[in-house]
């Protein structure tokens, strides 16, 4: 009886299909693993270069570091510590203020009955379609006219304003997906809209808030063009601007020390890696839930 069941044509057909699917999955994972390895090759090469002497890089590019030059990182970090502090300060203030303003606006779009709010939201979506490079020149002229050039708060102001459209778009979708019964119960208990926002909407929206914060951090941290235009004083420069200018000379000749340069580039990745390692859980939740709900 068991042999008949095993040899049944329908069971054989399903078994063959299962085997084909399994082989296809193995092939997919093999391709993904190969692409993943390729994506890590530049980082591995950068770490290898940063731990050598520049003479070793020129002599044998693919050789392992011998000896390991940890001093390259100490030299690079000491030179870039102040620009890193400037970048983190500007990014932190811009993210906190930008998220706070976007949360209030998103709650109004999602929960309040305001005449013409759908038209305003469509105007907001139009702003998202305008490339940032097209607004670079008008923004720079406006900063000069308002005496905001070469100031931290001037750079922060334009960062905050530039992030509002995308932040409101994401948070509005998340706020709309929250159960209406929670807010009705809060209103019956006498809570105001501000209290509902602070005590209900924002705590439930933690994943999308972290997602927006990380995405804005990537934008501010890696931005080089706008800080280069806005900040003139060398002590106020951000990390990316200083990395572009960072060219420490070799102690024995006038050529740049490529090893220390590479160490500076690799060290600049560490803050972003730390942020991603801490906020990855909420980042994935925000991308997979709030960003696709509507």
* The token pair that represents 182 in the structure block: 């929670």
* The token pair that represents 102 in the structure block: 């976007």
Question: What pLDDT is stored for residue 293 in this prediction?
Answer: 46
CATH number (domain holding residue 88): 1.10.3720.10
Residue 149 CB-density burial (10 A; 0-12 exposed, 13-18 middle, 19+ buried): middle
Same domain, 221 and 286: yes
Q: Is residue 67 part of a domain?
A: no
Question: What pLDDT is stored for residue 253 in this prediction?
Answer: 66
Same domain, 222 and 277: yes
Same domain, 226 and 281: yes
Q: Tens-of-pLDDT digits for all 294 residues of the chain?
A: 445 554 555 555 555 554 556 888 888 899 999 999 999 899 999 999 999 998 888 888 888 888 899 999 999 999 899 999 999 999 999 999 999 999 999 999 998 888 888 898 898 888 888 888 888 889 999 999 999 999 999 999 999 999 999 999 989 988 988 888 888 888 888 888 899 999 999 998 888 999 999 999 999 999 999 999 999 998 999 999 999 888 887 766 667 889 999 999 999 999 998 988 888 887 777 766 644 444
Question: What pLDDT is stored for residue 252 in this prediction?
Answer: 63
CA distance 178 to 186: 13
Cα→Cα distances 279→44, 89, 217, 270, 289, Å: 24, 19, 12, 14, 15
How many helices (H) and strands (E) would you count in the chain? 15, 0
Q: Is residue 72 part of a domain?
A: no
Same domain, 6 and 149: no
Same domain, 144 and 27: no
Question: What pLDDT is stored for residue 132 in this prediction?
Answer: 81
Same domain, 198 and 254: yes
Total number of domains in the chain: 2
Question: What pLDDT is stored for residue 21 in this prediction?
Answer: 61
Same domain, 125 and 32: no
Tell me which of 10, 31, 50 is where a domain ends: 50
Same domain, 36 and 141: no
Q: Is residue 182 part of a domain?
A: yes
Q: Are the beta carbons of 80 and 243 closer than 8 angstroms?
A: yes
Q: Is residue 63 part of a domain?
A: no
CA distance 268 to 221: 10
Q: Is residue 266 part of a domain?
A: yes
Q: Is residue 60 part of a domain?
A: no
**Cβ of 160: how many Cβ atoms within 10 Å?**
21
Same domain, 185 and 243: yes
Q: Is residue 55 part of a domain?
A: no
Same domain, 171 and 43: no
Q: Is residue 58 part of a domain?
A: no
Q: Tell me the average pLDDT of the chain.
A: 86
Domain limits for position 203: 77-290
Q: What pTM did the predictor assign?
A: 0.83
Q: Are the beta carbons of 268 and 73 closer than 8 angstroms?
A: no
Same domain, 7 and 126: no
Same domain, 128 and 21: no
């Amino acid at each position: 009886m068991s042999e008949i069941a095993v040899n049944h044509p329908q069971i054989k057909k399903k078994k063959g299909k299962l085997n084909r699917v399994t082989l296809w999955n193995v092939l997919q994972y093999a391709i993904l693993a190969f692409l993943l390895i390729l994506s890590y090759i530049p980082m591995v090469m950068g770490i290898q270069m940063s731990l050598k002497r520049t003479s070793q890089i020129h002599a044998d590019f693919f050789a392992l570091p011998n000896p390991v030059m940890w001093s390259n990182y100490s030299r690079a970090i000491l030179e870039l510590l102040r620009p890193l502090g400037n970048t983190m300060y500007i990014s932190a203030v811009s993210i906190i203020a930008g998220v706070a303003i976007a949360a209030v606006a998103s709650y109004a779009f999602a929960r309040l009955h305001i005449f013409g709010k759908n038209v305003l939201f469509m105007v907001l979506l139009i702003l998202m379609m305008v490339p940032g490079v097209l607004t670079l020149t008008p923004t720079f002229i406006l900063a000069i006219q308002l005496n905001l050039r070469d100031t931290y708060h001037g750079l922060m102001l334009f960062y905050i304003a530039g992030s509002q459209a995308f932040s409101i778009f994401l948070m509005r979708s998340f706020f709309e997906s929250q159960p209406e019964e929670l807010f009705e119960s809060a209103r019956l208990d006498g809570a105001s809209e501000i209290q509902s926002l602070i005590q209900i909407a924002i705590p439930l929206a933690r994943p999308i808030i972290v997602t927006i914060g990380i995405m804005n951090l990537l934008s501010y941290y890696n931005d080089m063009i706008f800080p280069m235009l806005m900040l003139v004083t060398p002590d106020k420069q951000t990390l990316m601007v200083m990395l572009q200018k960072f060219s420490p000379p070799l102690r024995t000749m006038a050529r740049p020390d490529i090893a220390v340069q590479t160490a500076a580039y690799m060290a600049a990745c560490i803050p972003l890696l730390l942020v991603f390692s801490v906020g990855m859980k909420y980042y994935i939740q925000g991308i997979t839930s709030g960003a696709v709900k509507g």
